[in-house]
């Protein structure tokens, strides 16, 4: 199934952002190796900081398309997009739960997720979202 998660991140430090990416990478490697691509827009990071984060992720992505930082002028928040063409519903649920667990442990309530999954009905998408614990306060993006 094709899935697109857009994660809006409010005021994460460079280390918190690195932790989030590494947590996502760990989940991916354990449960669905090399099925996702991460794109990040973070106007606060320099090229050197971006490279530092990139090289710290283990195992490294096979290509620069695995983790791609994009820069924009907007300076109030970061945005991470995770694209996949091969995730099952359970893998998608696991990925969202992993992101939620990392957020709650390390930087509570700084992430908002919107999801675009053309193959899922609204009821199926709601079922995935309702399974995430603790639940998100808002349901704007699913």
pTM above 0.75, yes or no: yes
> Residues 104-119: what's their mean pLDDT?
83
Compute the residue count for the chain.
142
The yes-or-no verdict on residue 70 having pLDDT over 60 is no
pLDDT the model gives residue 19: 92
Distance CA 30, CA 135 (A): 24
Q: Domains plus CATH for the chain?
A: 3-130 (3.30.70)
Q: Where are any strands of DSSP class E within 16-137?
A: 36-41, 67-70, 78-84, 111-116
């Amino acid at each position: 199934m094709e899935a697109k998660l857009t994660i809006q991140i409010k005021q994460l430090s460079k280390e918190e952002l690195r932790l989030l990416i590494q947590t996502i990478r760990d989940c991916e490697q354990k449960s669905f190796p090399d099925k996702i691509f991460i794109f990040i827009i973070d106007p606060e990071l320099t090229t050197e900081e971006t490279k530092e984060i990139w090289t710290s992720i283990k195992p490294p992505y096979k290509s620069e398309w695995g983790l791609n930082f994009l820069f924009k002028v907007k300076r109030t928040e970061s945005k991470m997009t995770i694209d996949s063409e091969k995730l099952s519903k359970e893998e998608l649920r696991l990925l969202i739960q992993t992101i939620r667990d990392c957020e709650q442990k390390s930087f509570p309530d700084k992430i908002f997720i919107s999801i675009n999954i053309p193959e899922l009905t609204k009821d199926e998408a709601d079922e995935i979202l309702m399974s995430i614990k603790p639940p998100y306060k808002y349901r704007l993006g699913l």
